[in-house]
Amino acid sequence: MGDSRRHYWRRWRSLWRRWFLWVLLVLLVASMLVTLVWLAGRHEADLVQSNLERDTAVAVASLRTALERNLDDMQALQTLTLDGASWQSRAEALLQEHRALLRLEWRDARMQLRAASDSPYGTPTWDLAQRDAPHSEVIQACVRAQRLRGASYADSYFQASPDGQGAEVLEVCLPLAHGGFVVGSYGLRHLLTEIVAPRLQPAQEISFTEPDGTRLVLLRASRRGSRMFTARQLLDLPGATLVVRMDGWHQPPSVFPNVLSALVTVMSIALASVVAVLVRDNRRRLAAERQLGESLAFRQAMEDSLLTGLRARDMAGRITYVNSAFCRMVGYSAEELLGQATPPPYWPPEHASLYAARQQAHMEAGGQQPLQDYELTYMRKDGTRFPVVIYEAPLVNARGARTGWMASFLDVSEQRRAQELSRASQERLQATARLATVGEMASLLSHELNQPLAVIASYAAGSLNLLEPGAEPAGSPQANQAELKMALQRIAAQAERAGRVIKSVHDFLRRRAHVRESVAAADLLDAVLPLARLRAHKLGVDVALELDEDLPPALCDRTMVEQVLLNLARNAMQAMDDPALAERVLTLRVRRAQARGWLEFTVADVGTGIDAEVAARLFTPFFTTRSEGMGLGLSLCRTVIEQHGGVLDHAPNLPRGTVFTFTLPSAA
């Protein structure tokens, strides 16, 4: 009984496989037939569409050629100096030759009508009593034509006729060399009738449309098919744009005449293929089973060797798969994790609600993004927390349906620890670098503070001389008192300046934000001029100031910008410390920059200039061409200007010298 049943099932399975192959063959033949019919129809439709587009392009080219030929004939009207009657006779001859023209007008420079002629092939479209004033579109076209010195078309418009009908009119304006205009009026229907209609096929119709698809005029086909094809071409005229649309009606596409031979060939190939498939079916199935087993073993070995954790979840959020690396990462076995729903045991309790809301939002979104990465904190079985980076993507089965989400996990604990060590080392290096800068800043401060302190000492000595009991008064007591007051004010100003310099350096070393304030450009120059002029007087340099009128104030750290100006001025004067120079002029210039909202400061000298090799390293820290310099002045100047959002640069000052330019934002 058992053997007969097994035999029955084997026979049934063999019959089913054989009939399945025959059914597959029938379906293959039917699909081939349907495909051939569809391809034939598609080929014929493409051919019809291609021919229609070609005919449309030919129609547009014919229209453009005819319009250009008409313009040439209209151009010939202005070569003659004619009175109104003579011009009208010539225009009537031109209208008899070109049927598409409805009317020609001769207007003077003020658009007043001097002469006009209507086409003899139809009744006038316009009310002659109202035609003296041209259409507004024509006026615009004539203005445009005069500006372009060539023909210009106006947008088409509908012109009603006295008999209650009307026509769509396109007008062109041609400027005359001796003044005035020639205005020609085309009927759009006449253009199609006279130029395009002779070339139309019986099943084609053509129309003028606006760019938005509105039809203006239409020439209908004499007969129709069951399917319509459409082609559009742009007729771009100077000042106006029209779209030429051509519609073609066509019968349903016919099948290729060699379909039967093609079907016989395909069926023969299909039968031979079925026999080959039947023979190799068992061998391929066995080979596929062996390959599947080997691939499963390979995948398992690969997953066991990974350091990246893998986890799969179904659509309900339950865990369906974890690899060994993920189990080692969280400290749980696969049996403890499979089937777990929200919240899983490796979520920290303090973050469980947040993670659950995030997962719910991700599930409701449907996983539209193919790949998402984010960082979370997980908890091992022993309670320790560790950061992980998660890459999650939709899990799609072999049928293309989404069945859940697949995620990979990276334990970034060591990476975070290395980043923290790197950050601490970087902070120590920065602190060391800032401390190393103190020495260079002290060298610069010794020079910057030396001049205000020298001025303070000079004014203090003069004040003491005025206060000596035995001093011979140089003037009245009121004058001596005024001089003493002036000296004390200068002492206070220089002391305040020295204090601001020290405070700026102190803020720089303490990493405090600099205070930006609105400062007039003249005030910035006045603050550095006394010190600059002392140096200039010693070197025999003349100082010239150039300030534009109505300059807006600059928004900057006043002390730091004054240091930049003073440093650039001192460098410029040192560049002119050459006995061979007959004229030494230091120019300080402030003007509006080309960029809106910026001021441009310029410090120019007539010194020896800068070599190309030196210019390439000019702003490099610790690079200097002077034996006593430290190479930090220009580097710090550029840093200060870039902190304000500006740019510091230099260029040759022709015929000799160098120009340093920097920009600052204006308070406006």
Q: Hey, CA dihedral for 449, 529, 567, 555, is it positive or negative?
A: positive
Task: Provide the domain count of the chain.
Answer: 4
Residues 147, 109 contacting (CB under 8 angstroms): no
Interval 284-330: pLDDT, tens: 777 777 788 777 777 777 776 667 778 888 887 788 888 888 888 88
Question: Could you tell me if 502 and 556 lie in one domain?
Answer: no
- 123 and 160, same domain (yes or no): yes
Encode pLDDT of 548-576 as tens digits. 888 999 999 887 888 888 888 888 888 88
Check residues 87 and 265 and name the one with the higher pLDDT: 87
Decide: helix, strand or coil at residue 538: helix
Q: What's the whole-number average pLDDT of the chain?
A: 76
Q: How far apart are CA 154 and CA 186, in angstroms?
A: 11
Q: How many CB atoms lie within 10 A of CB 591?
A: 15
Higher pLDDT, 370 or 634: 634
d(CA 451, CA 445): 10
Q: Which helix (H) or strand (E) holds 400?
A: none
Query: CA 565 to CA 238: how far, in whole Å?
Result: 58
Same domain for 359 and 472, yes or no, is: no
Contacts of 463 (CB under 8 A, 6+ apart): 484, 487, 488, 491
Position 351 in a domain: yes
Same domain, 406 and 447: no
Strand partners, 479: none
Q: Are residues 520 and 564 in the same domain?
A: yes
Tell me what the mean pLDDT of segment 617-628 comes to. 65
Q: What pLDDT, on the 0 to 100 scale, is given for residue 371?
A: 58
Question: What's the rounded Cα separation, in Å, for the pair 552 and 548?
Answer: 10
Which residues, 6 or more positions from 74, have their beta carbon under 8 angstroms from its beta carbon? 94, 104, 172, 174, 182, 184
At 264 the three-state DSSP class reads helix
- The 10 Å CB-count burial string (b at 16+, else e) for 341-377 is ebbbebbeeebeeebeeebeebbeeebeeeebeeeee
**Over 90: is that where the pLDDT of 662 sits?**
yes
pLDDT at 14: 65
pLDDT at 553: 92
- Quick one: pLDDT at residue 588? 92
pLDDT of residue 312: 82
Peptide bond into 253 cis (omega under 30): no
pLDDT of 13 above 50: yes
Say which residues have a Cβ less than 8 Å from residue 58's Cβ, sequence separation at least 6: 199
Residue 302 lies in a domain: no
pLDDT the model gives residue 589:
92
Section 359-379 average pLDDT: 69
Same structural domain, 487 and 559: no
Question: Per residue in 140-151, pLDDT tens?
Answer: 888 888 888 888
- 201 and 75 co-located in one domain: yes
Please determine, for residue 255, whether its predicted confidence score (pLDDT) is greater than 50.
no
Q: Is the pLDDT of residue 599 over 90?
A: yes
Mean pLDDT over 401-424 rounds to 78
Q: What's residue 504's pLDDT? A: 59
Query: If we measure between CA atoms, which residue out of 574, 570, 589 comes closest to residue 532?
Result: 570
Residue 278 lies in a domain: no
572, 584, 660 from 635: Cα distances, Å: 16, 26, 13
Domain that holds residue 311: 307-411
pLDDT at residue number 256: 46
Quick one: tokens of 529? 């001029």
d(CA 26, CA 344): 54
Report whether pLDDT(433) > 70.
no
Question: Between 144 and 370, where is the model more confident?
Answer: 144
Domain boundary residue, one of 485, 512, 539: 512
What token pair was written down for 163? 């008999």
Q: Which of 99, 240, 234 is nearest to 157 (CA)?
A: 240
Query: Is 578's pLDDT higher than 60?
Result: yes
3-class state of residue 103 by DSSP: strand
Beta pairing class for 542-547 and 585-592:
parallel
Asked if residue 97 lies in contact with residue 73, where contact means CB atoms within 8 angstroms, the answer is yes
DSSP assignment letter at 652: E
**CB 527, CB 455: distance < 8 Å:** no
CATH code for the domain in which residue 626 is found: 3.30.565.10
Alpha helices in 556-605 (DSSP H): 558-575
Structure tokens at 642: 């870039």
Residues 122 and 243 in one domain: yes
Q: Are residues 504 and 520 in the same domain?
A: no
Percent of the chain at pLDDT > 90 equals: 4
Domain endpoint, select from 377, 411, 445:
411
Report the amino acid identity of residue 580: A
Whole-angstrom distance, CA of residue 486 vs CA of residue 489: 5
Considering the domain architecture, whether residues 480 and 548 belong to the same structural domain is answered as no
Residue 605 falls inside a structural domain? yes
Tens digit of pLDDT for each residue in 38-49? 666 677 777 778
The DSSP bridge partners found for residue 34 are: none
Whether 268 is in a domain gets the answer: no
Residues constituting the chain: 668
pLDDT of residue 590: 93
Is 347 inside a domain boundary?
yes
Q: Quick count: other Cβ atoms within 10 Å of Cβ 133?
A: 11
Which residue shows structure tokens 């150039």?
546
The band of 476, judged by pLDDT with boundaries at 50, 70 and 90, is: low
CA 478-480-482 angle, to 5 degrees, is 70
Assign residue 327 the CATH number of its domain.
3.30.450.20
pLDDT value for 630 = 54
Residues whose CB is less than 8 angstroms from the CB of residue 397 and which lie 6 or more positions away in sequence, other chains included: 403
Claim to verify: residue 392 and residue 483 sit in the same structural domain = no
Q: Of 411, 426, 459, at which residue does a domain stop?
A: 411
Q: Are residues 160 and 191 in the same domain?
A: yes
Going by the DSSP 8-state scheme, the letter that residue 197 receives in this structure is G
Domain-embedded: residue 212 = yes
In a domain, 240, yes or no: yes
C-alpha span between 267 and 28 (Å, rounded): 9
